[in-house]
Amino acid sequence: MTSEDNTIWDKLQTIPREVLYLLMIISMIIPLLSPLGLPIPISPQTRTLYDSLDTLQPGDVFVQFVDYSAGSMSFHEPGFIAITYKAVNKGAKLVMLSSSVEGPMMYEIVINKIKPFLDSAGYVYGEDYVYLGYTAGEETALAAIASNIRSVYTTDQYGTPLDDITLMQSVNNHEDFTMLISYTMGSPESFVRQFNTQYGVTTHIHCGEMMTPTILPFWASGQITGLLNGGVGAAEMEVLVGRPGDAVKLTDVYSFSNLIVFAFLIIGNIGFIMKGRMKE
Amino acid sequence: MSTKIVRRTIPLIITFIVGMLMIGEWFFNVASIDQVAESVRQWGVLVSAFAMGLGSVNIVIRNLRRIEKREGTDWLYAIWLLIVFFGFVGIGVGMGSASSQYQYIYNTILQPLSGTMYPATLFFLCSAIYRTFRIRSYQALLFVATGAVILVANAPVVAATFPLLVATKAWIMDVELTAAYRAILIGIGLGTIMLGFRVIFGLEQTHLGREEGD
């Protein structure tokens, strides 16, 4: 390497990745240990979801697809808890199911966390909420659930026949769903196609940040009513329902880590541009 | 000849009938068609569940072969994979997935590992952004500027401090991105319709595998 290749501008472009990683880790740990309570603005996508939940009436059936996995649990779970809190406060009945393999495990974990709240609200399993478990088939299964839920599920997760479950006696197909939400890292479009486009069921999505750009056109067209954008969306929902939790704690982390990446983006380009000028 | 009938002609006839049935169910409101279509969807769910079982058997066979050949160091991972596989299946089937034993191994092994893998990609993404987002041209300037606006506007503290950035991000997402992605979606939709018709009418046969002699 010549001295021409070892200027300050070269160094700015070649900062070791370990430095970036270290700063990222620090930016995550500090806000977690000492939350700063930075303000959280509410996006229109989250607002429409909240407003839609606000229209739930006592006895309405709110279907929740627990389709996330351990990888996205950090933001899907707070979103699920906040939304369930709102739906329960409105008196909605909860029908929960999964079209992803890890769904049942995620359900067991999250239901144990919100069980005290459900109990305090007087919610009884089988009467006010039910979990039907996992079904294979992905979009084919969604189509079957929309047309006749009993063609896919004959029992709940714990082996009780659907006809013996009080809540399920009046739930057969899409006509009985007031609205639904999918917590997913997969393909949210399939919910739009099978529930909203075909039957007009009010559909909400809570997906990862990476999926949000692909699903935004459906929100803009009204095919998706509410859209939670990953962890930030979950934090916004926690703020709206008045129960700041894990997602709100993580927003400081998003703020700091995003700013560090932005800073490195600028530093790298300053080095690149100045090096180019020096050559000229 | 009989092989061709079994491997090609019959599957093509089944594909045609099922395809026309599902299209018919969508466009016409006939109770008998609806009933048959519902049964077909049920079969679809069953076939998917069967495919998962088949995939599991395939994993076992492939890894047993790898262990048998003992090439490189892959076979050691294959042994570990089979131990974990049969461990999970044994406890899950024997004691049930709701059992405390199954939940224990899931919560203490799979959940933390899976939970670590996804966020770990963040570090590589950050490093990649730093190294590759260079303003080499005016087009690259637009690309970097757009990415930078989205990046900082996604930081709640910035969004709360600089409303103009949020408005800019919203414009990029609602106008630029939505317009571009809609075009892609419509293209995908038209392509899917065309492919669907090709499959239904037997013009596209790749899903049936290769013909003998191909």
What CATH number is associated with residue A51?
Answer: 3.40.50
**% of chain B at pLDDT higher than 70:** 97
Q: Are B172 and B150 in contact (CB under 8 A)?
A: yes
Grade residue B212 by pLDDT with cuts at 50, 70 and 90: low
CB contact (8 A) between residue A232 and residue B157: no
Which residues contact residue B195 at a Cβ distance below 8 angstroms, ignoring those fewer than 6 apart? B204
Q: Round the average pLDDT of chain B to a whole number and report it.
A: 89
Residue B85 has pLDDT above 70, yes or no: yes
Mean pLDDT of B2-25: 90
Local confidence band at B90 (pLDDT 50, 70, 90 cut-offs): very high
Choose among A24, A104, A258: nearest Cβ to B154. Answer: A258
SS3 at position A57: coil
Is residue A236 in a domain?
A: yes
Percent of chain B with pLDDT over 90: 52
Which of A261, A264, A266 has the highest number of chain B CBs within 10 A, making it the mutation to test binding with B?
A261
Scanning B19-58 for CB atoms below 8 A from A yields 26, 34, 37-38, 41-42, 44-45, 48-49, 51-52
With respect to residue A39, please indicate whether it lies within any of the assigned structural domains: no
**Of A21, A69, A273, Cβ closest to residue B135:** A273
Domain shared by A16 and A145, yes or no: no
If asked whether residues A72 and A54 sit together in one domain, one would say yes
A156 with A20, same domain? Answer: no
Same domain, A117 and A221: yes
Nearest CA in chain B to A20: B127
Determine contact, residues A103/A156, Cβ cutoff 8 Å: no
Tell me: do A22 and A91 sit in the same domain.
no
In this structure, the answer to whether residues A271 and A163 fall within a common structural domain is no
**Whether B155 and A140 lie within 8 Å, measured CB to CB:** no
- Which residues does chain B have within 8 Å of residue A15's beta carbon, measured at their own beta carbons? 130
pLDDT average, residue stretch B95-116 = 85
Q: Which domain holds residue A229?
A: 44-244
Q: Does the pLDDT at position B120 exceed 80? A: yes
- The reply to whether A99 and A143 lie within a common domain is yes
pLDDT tens digits, one per residue of A221-270:
999 999 999 999 999 999 999 999 889 988 888 888 899 999 999 999 99
Residue A170 — very low, low, confident or very high, per pLDDT cuts 50/70/90? Answer: very high
ipTM of the complex: 0.82
pLDDT in tens, A92-139: 999 999 999 899 999 999 999 999 999 999 999 999 999 999 999 989
> Does residue A189 lie within any of the structural domains?
yes
Using a CB-CB cut-off of 8 Å, the residues of chain B touching A252 are: 157
Same domain, A54 and A193: yes
Closest CB from A105, A157, A232 relative to B154 = A232
Cα distance from A61 to chain B (closest Cα, Å)?
Answer: 23
State the average pLDDT over residues A158-176. 95
Same domain, A17 and A131: no
Whether residue B211 is predicted with pLDDT greater than 70 in this model: the reply is: no
Out of A73, A137, A257, the one facing B44 most closely (by C-beta) is: A137
Residue of B88, B141, B173 to mutate for A, most A C-beta atoms under 10 A = B173
For residue range A8-66, list pLDDT tens digits in order.
999 999 999 999 999 999 988 888 888 777 788 899 999 999 999 999 999 999 999 99
Looking at the fold, whether A138 and A263 belong to one and the same domain comes out as no
Contact A152 B144 (CB under 8 A): no
Judge whether B177 and A216 are in contact, CB under 8 Å: yes
Q: Quote the minimal CA–CA distance from B1 to chain A in Å.
A: 34
> Phi, psi (5° rounding) for residue B30?
-115, 125
Q: Is residue A249 part of a domain?
A: no
User: Inter-chain contact A140–B48, Cβ cutoff 8 Å?
Assistant: yes
pLDDT tens per residue, range A246-256: 899 888 888 88
Distance from CA of A44 to the nearest CA of B (A): 10
Q: How confident is the model at residue B214 (pLDDT cuts 50, 70, 90)?
A: low
Query: Domain tally for chain A?
Result: 2
> Does residue A17 lie within any of the structural domains?
yes
Buried b (16+ CB within 10 A) or exposed e, A45-80: bbebbbebbeebeeebbbbbbbbbbbbbbbbbbbbb
Q: Give me the total of CB pairs closer than 8 Å, taking one residue from chain A and one from chain B.
A: 167
CA gap A128, A118 in Å, rounded: 9
- What is the pLDDT, as a whole number, of residue B116? 85
A93 and A16 in a common domain: no
In a domain, A114, yes or no: yes
Answer whether residue B65 shows pLDDT above 60: yes
What integer is the mean pLDDT of B123-147?
92
Clarify whether residues A101 and A194 are in a common domain.
yes
